[in-house]
Amino acid sequence: MADHSPDWRRLGQHVQRRREQLGLTQAQVQAAGGPSTATLRNIENATQASYRSSNLRALERVLEWPDGTIDAILNGNERPTAAAPRRTPLLAEHEPELRQLATNPDISEHLKAWAQSILDQIEQLRQAEQRDAAERGRAAS
Protein backbone atom coordinates (compact mmCIF):
# COMPACT_ATOMS: atom_id res chain seq x y z
CA MET A 1 0.00 0.00 0.00
CA ALA A 2 1.36 3.37 -0.99
CA ASP A 3 2.01 6.06 1.59
CA HIS A 4 0.54 9.43 0.62
CA SER A 5 1.07 12.73 2.35
CA PRO A 6 -1.81 14.22 4.32
CA ASP A 7 -1.89 17.08 1.84
CA TRP A 8 -3.23 14.82 -0.95
CA ARG A 9 -5.84 13.32 1.37
CA ARG A 10 -6.89 16.82 2.42
CA LEU A 11 -7.10 17.89 -1.22
CA GLY A 12 -9.24 14.85 -2.04
CA GLN A 13 -11.63 15.70 0.79
CA HIS A 14 -11.94 19.33 -0.32
CA VAL A 15 -12.44 18.38 -3.96
CA GLN A 16 -15.15 15.83 -3.19
CA ARG A 17 -16.93 18.19 -0.78
CA ARG A 18 -16.89 21.05 -3.31
CA ARG A 19 -18.03 18.83 -6.17
CA GLU A 20 -20.96 17.64 -4.07
CA GLN A 21 -21.78 21.23 -3.02
CA LEU A 22 -22.06 22.12 -6.69
CA GLY A 23 -24.23 19.06 -7.30
CA LEU A 24 -21.81 17.63 -9.85
CA THR A 25 -21.03 14.01 -10.57
CA GLN A 26 -17.51 13.01 -11.54
CA ALA A 27 -18.74 12.59 -15.13
CA GLN A 28 -20.19 16.11 -15.09
CA VAL A 29 -16.87 17.50 -13.88
CA GLN A 30 -15.20 15.87 -16.87
CA ALA A 31 -17.94 17.09 -19.25
CA ALA A 32 -17.47 20.65 -17.95
CA GLY A 33 -13.79 20.59 -18.91
CA GLY A 34 -12.26 19.04 -15.81
CA PRO A 35 -10.00 15.99 -15.58
CA SER A 36 -11.16 12.52 -16.58
CA THR A 37 -13.33 10.59 -14.15
CA ALA A 38 -10.40 8.24 -13.47
CA THR A 39 -8.10 11.15 -12.58
CA LEU A 40 -10.79 12.79 -10.46
CA ARG A 41 -11.40 9.51 -8.63
CA ASN A 42 -7.64 9.26 -7.94
CA ILE A 43 -7.58 12.83 -6.62
CA GLU A 44 -10.62 12.31 -4.38
CA ASN A 45 -9.26 9.02 -3.02
CA ALA A 46 -5.65 10.26 -2.73
CA THR A 47 -4.40 7.22 -4.64
CA GLN A 48 -1.73 9.20 -6.45
CA ALA A 49 0.61 11.98 -5.35
CA SER A 50 1.33 13.74 -8.62
CA TYR A 51 -0.90 15.18 -11.34
CA ARG A 52 -0.47 17.28 -14.42
CA SER A 53 -0.72 20.97 -13.65
CA SER A 54 -3.22 21.35 -16.50
CA ASN A 55 -5.55 18.81 -14.84
CA LEU A 56 -5.37 20.63 -11.51
CA ARG A 57 -6.04 24.04 -13.12
CA ALA A 58 -8.98 22.61 -15.08
CA LEU A 59 -10.35 21.12 -11.86
CA GLU A 60 -10.09 24.51 -10.13
CA ARG A 61 -12.11 26.12 -12.92
CA VAL A 62 -14.87 23.50 -12.81
CA LEU A 63 -15.04 23.67 -9.00
CA GLU A 64 -15.24 27.47 -9.25
CA TRP A 65 -12.11 27.96 -7.18
CA PRO A 66 -9.70 30.84 -7.79
CA ASP A 67 -6.41 29.97 -9.48
CA GLY A 68 -3.93 28.60 -6.96
CA THR A 69 -6.52 27.14 -4.57
CA ILE A 70 -5.30 23.57 -5.06
CA ASP A 71 -1.70 24.60 -4.40
CA ALA A 72 -2.84 26.41 -1.25
CA ILE A 73 -4.67 23.29 -0.01
CA LEU A 74 -1.61 21.13 -0.71
CA ASN A 75 0.49 23.61 1.29
CA GLY A 76 -1.77 23.39 4.32
CA ASN A 77 -4.48 26.00 3.76
CA GLU A 78 -7.63 24.34 5.08
CA ARG A 79 -10.30 26.65 3.69
CA PRO A 80 -10.49 27.16 -0.05
CA THR A 81 -12.17 30.33 -1.21
CA ALA A 82 -15.01 29.95 -3.68
CA ALA A 83 -14.89 32.05 -6.80
CA ALA A 84 -17.84 34.11 -7.91
CA PRO A 85 -20.81 31.94 -8.89
CA ARG A 86 -20.68 30.59 -12.42
CA ARG A 87 -23.45 29.38 -14.67
CA THR A 88 -21.50 27.04 -16.95
CA PRO A 89 -21.84 23.90 -14.77
CA LEU A 90 -25.62 24.27 -14.79
CA LEU A 91 -25.68 24.65 -18.55
CA ALA A 92 -23.11 21.91 -19.06
CA GLU A 93 -25.59 19.40 -17.63
CA HIS A 94 -27.59 19.80 -20.84
CA GLU A 95 -24.65 19.70 -23.22
CA PRO A 96 -24.89 15.97 -24.07
CA GLU A 97 -28.59 16.29 -24.96
CA LEU A 98 -27.94 19.41 -27.01
CA ARG A 99 -25.12 17.71 -28.90
CA GLN A 100 -27.43 14.80 -29.71
CA LEU A 101 -30.09 17.19 -30.98
CA ALA A 102 -27.61 19.20 -33.03
CA THR A 103 -26.45 16.06 -34.86
CA ASN A 104 -29.65 14.00 -35.00
CA PRO A 105 -30.60 13.40 -38.65
CA ASP A 106 -34.21 12.65 -37.68
CA ILE A 107 -35.13 16.13 -36.43
CA SER A 108 -35.76 19.36 -38.29
CA GLU A 109 -32.95 21.65 -39.35
CA HIS A 110 -34.62 24.40 -37.32
CA LEU A 111 -34.32 22.41 -34.07
CA LYS A 112 -30.74 21.39 -34.91
CA ALA A 113 -29.87 25.05 -35.45
CA TRP A 114 -31.38 26.02 -32.08
CA ALA A 115 -29.42 23.29 -30.29
CA GLN A 116 -26.19 24.37 -31.98
CA SER A 117 -26.87 28.00 -31.11
CA ILE A 118 -27.26 27.10 -27.44
CA LEU A 119 -24.04 25.04 -27.54
CA ASP A 120 -22.23 28.03 -29.05
CA GLN A 121 -23.58 30.27 -26.29
CA ILE A 122 -22.45 27.81 -23.60
CA GLU A 123 -18.95 27.90 -25.08
CA GLN A 124 -18.98 31.71 -25.22
CA LEU A 125 -20.10 31.85 -21.59
CA ARG A 126 -17.38 29.39 -20.60
CA GLN A 127 -14.74 31.56 -22.31
CA ALA A 128 -16.11 34.74 -20.73
CA GLU A 129 -16.02 33.16 -17.28
CA GLN A 130 -12.42 32.07 -17.81
CA ARG A 131 -11.46 35.62 -18.82
CA ASP A 132 -13.32 36.98 -15.78
CA ALA A 133 -11.55 34.53 -13.46
CA ALA A 134 -8.19 35.53 -14.94
CA GLU A 135 -9.01 39.22 -14.40
CA ARG A 136 -10.02 38.56 -10.78
CA GLY A 137 -6.80 36.62 -10.28
CA ARG A 138 -4.72 39.52 -11.61
CA ALA A 139 -6.66 42.02 -9.48
CA ALA A 140 -6.07 39.93 -6.35
CA SER A 141 -2.29 39.80 -6.98
Q: What is the DSSP letter of 87?
A: S
d(CA 80, CA 17): 11
Is the same domain home to 14 and 72? yes
137: pLDDT strictly greater than 70: no
Is the same domain home to 69 and 2? yes
Name the pLDDT band for 90 (thresholds 50, 70, 90). low
Give how far Cα 84 sits from Cα of 5, 7, 66, 118, 139, Å.
Answer: 30, 25, 9, 23, 14
Cα of first residue to Cα of last residue in the chain, in angstroms, is 40
Is the same domain home to 76 and 22? yes
54: pLDDT strictly greater than 90: yes
5: pLDDT strictly greater than 60: no
The pTM is what? 0.56
CATH value at residue 19? 1.10.260.40
Give the per-residue pLDDT at 93. Answer: 74
Written as one letter, the residue type at 54 is: S
| CB proximity list for 18: less than 8 A, separation 6 or greater | 63, 64, 65, 80, 82
d(CA 76, CA 71): 9
Range of the domain at 102: 86-141
